Amino acid sequence: MQVQPKASHYINGRFVEDDQGELIQVTYPATGEVIAHVHAATPNIIELAIESAASAQREWARLKPVERGRVLRRAADILLQRNEYLARLETLDTGKAIQETLVADAPSAAEALEFFGGAVAAFNGAYFDLGGPFGYTRREPLGVCLGVGAWNYPIQIAGWKSAPALAMGNAMVFKPSENTPLSALALAEIYTEAGLPDGLFNVVQGLGPVGAALTSHPRIDKISLTGSVPTGRKVMATAGGQLKHATMELGGKSPIVVFDDADIENAIGGAMLGNFYSTGQVCSNGTRVFVQSGIRQRFLERLVERTKAIRIGDPLDPDTQMGPLINRDQREKVTSYIEIGRQEGAELLAGGGTPSMQGMDGGCFVEPTVFANVTDDMRIAREEIFGPVMCVLDFESEDEAIARANATEFGLAAGVFTNDMARAHRVTAQLQAGTCWINAYNLTPVEMPFGGFKQSGIGRENSLAALEHYSQLKSVYVETGAVDSPY
Ligand code: NDP
């Protein structure tokens, strides 16, 4: 299974190679087979990408928003036409089950292109009546934006960052995670095919040091990172030192609060989606599931039953519901947390093992895992595991649940399951999280802002809020009379 791209990087509308850069082997996480390789960007490649972005951006920013939007909407159509190919590519790159990549990856990127391609034309400044003189504001692009992606949703992240950036008249240099370098290149080709002028969307490969070199480059005007909190701190420090605009989409340890009166099957379904989708590698996962004592027993019984029925295996099989983790390091990390959970005294109710699948010996599989009797002080309840490990905690009262849900440095997301709508809104208003779901979990429609409170991030993706974060506001004062000067 080879999916070797034409070259490692995509700059100024074409594939570019520089084999002096460090070799990065791309493996299929289900088997460990090497399916492609790319080279990390050398300083020359970085310069070339930034230079071509900077020179293309000026013309692009002069187009009418509706003209820029038209290109994005054409690219969205091509993404959807090519969805099956892109889903397979994403499955090979990430190991995520094809039944997910068909619906959640390229389609989500396409939705962002469609939304921002249309919305930007209606994203206008304001008019100020100053009693004779008047004023107005203009939303102007920032210039060259850097996107740095994580490996769990590679094409979605590339789409979520590039769509508002390009719609707003910026250019972008995008660095995918070294684990998943392939689909951003496919997106770049699609942009070119859709008529995006050369140089506006460039992809350069590399590990952390390439990300760091890009981040500190003086011609980068804005950085948008999706990654872990430690990386976010480093990138934010660099951005702060140079007073660059920054959006940080970081990690989480989000709570799901299930009240006694909730529809139990829905609550279990939501909790499972919020822990096992994408093999648990989702930033907004609700990995601390607080269940009120009255339904605890029934909740756990059905949860275990449904968890044990999850079909784990070959990600390319349309019946498979859970694929492997991204790589061995991640499996090592997740299994070590499962061991920590055991030692801390949590009760392992399901999973915990690392199954070997026939014909996929090198696969990084971990069973969907449920721990009960988890307490707030346990490491498995405090630290982001980024794997299919659900912690169930018990609670008695509403106030207690809110206080404990908020007792974390993170604040990306939260969920509430109850049939009492007054309570749902009351609780949601007190949860310290950038996105809250009531009787649902992990849905991120492009129309709504997405981003974190506290250590989970700064800035927002999706919605008109993203256009704000990819633009700067200019105020224009217009005098209509004589200048009133004392000199
Ligand atoms: P990392 O923080 O390890 O890496 C994120 C990206 O940053 C990668 O492309 C990485 O390169 C790059 N990078 C690493 N060091 C630097 C640096 N010093 N300067 C600039 N770039 C750097 O995260 P993961 O890839 O492991 O992704 C998992 C994390 O991402 C989790 O914490 C998860 O919660 C979070 N995440 C957040 C989301 C959100 O929207 N809030 C969505 C998805 C994930 P490389 O990998 O090549 O070394």
User: pLDDT 10s digit of each residue in the chain, 487 long?
Assistant: 899 999 999 999 999 999 999 999 999 999 999 999 999 999 999 999 999 999 999 999 999 999 999 999 999 999 999 999 999 999 999 999 999 999 999 999 999 999 999 999 999 999 999 999 999 999 999 999 999 999 999 999 999 999 999 999 999 999 999 999 999 999 999 999 999 999 999 999 999 999 999 999 999 999 999 999 999 999 999 999 999 999 999 999 999 999 999 999 999 999 999 999 999 999 999 999 999 999 999 999 999 999 999 999 999 999 999 999 999 999 999 999 999 999 999 999 999 999 989 999 999 999 999 999 999 999 999 999 999 999 999 999 999 999 999 999 999 999 999 999 999 999 999 999 999 999 999 999 999 999 999 999 999 999 999 999 999 999 999 999 999 999 9
CB distance 126 to 462 below 8 Å: no
Q: How far is CA 396 from CA 255, 259, 294, in A?
A: 15, 9, 8
At residue 147, what are phi and psi to the nearest 5 degrees?
Answer: -110, 130
- DSSP string over 258-323: E-TTS-HHHHHHHHHHHHHGGGG--TT---EEEEEGGGHHHHHHHHHHHHHT--BS-TTSTT--B-
Q: How many CA atoms lie within 13 A of 190 on its CB side?
A: 28
What distance in angstroms lies between residue 382's CA and the mean position of ligand 1's atoms? Answer: 19
Cα(444)–Cα(462) distance, integer angstroms? 9
Q: How far is CA 394 from CA 70, 246, 376, 410, 433, in A?
A: 51, 38, 10, 20, 20
The pLDDT of residue 481 is 96
CB distance 79 to 112 below 8 Å: no
Neighbours of 191 (CB within 10 A): 26
What distance in angstroms lies between residue 228's CA and the mean position of ligand 1's atoms? Answer: 5
Torsion of CA 275, 279, 284, 288, to 10 degrees: 30
- As for ligand 1, residues whose beta carbon falls within 6 Å of it are 148-152, 175, 177-178, 207-208, 211-212, 215, 225-228, 231, 234-235, 249-252, 283, 384, 386, 412, 452, 457
The dihedral sign for the CA sequence 44, 49, 52, 57: negative
The dihedral sign for the CA sequence 331, 334, 340, 346: negative
Cα(51)–Cα(72) distance, integer angstroms? 22
The pLDDT of residue 46 is 98
Residue nearest to atom 46 of ligand 1 (CA): 177
Cα(39)–Cα(28) distance, integer angstroms? 17
- DSSP string over 401-429: HHHHHH-SS--SEEEEE-S-HHHHHHHHH
Chain centre distance of CA 388: 17
The pLDDT of residue 382 is 98
The set of catalytic residues is 161, 249, 283, 461
Residue nearest to atom 34 of ligand 1 (CA): 251
CB distance 157 to 250 below 8 Å: no
Ligand 1 atom, smallest distance to 228 CA:
32
Ligand 1 atom, smallest distance to 456 CA:
41
318: exposed, middle or buried (C-beta count within 10 Å: 0-12, 13-18, 19+)? exposed
pTM over 0.85: yes
Residue nearest to atom 30 of ligand 1 (CA): 227
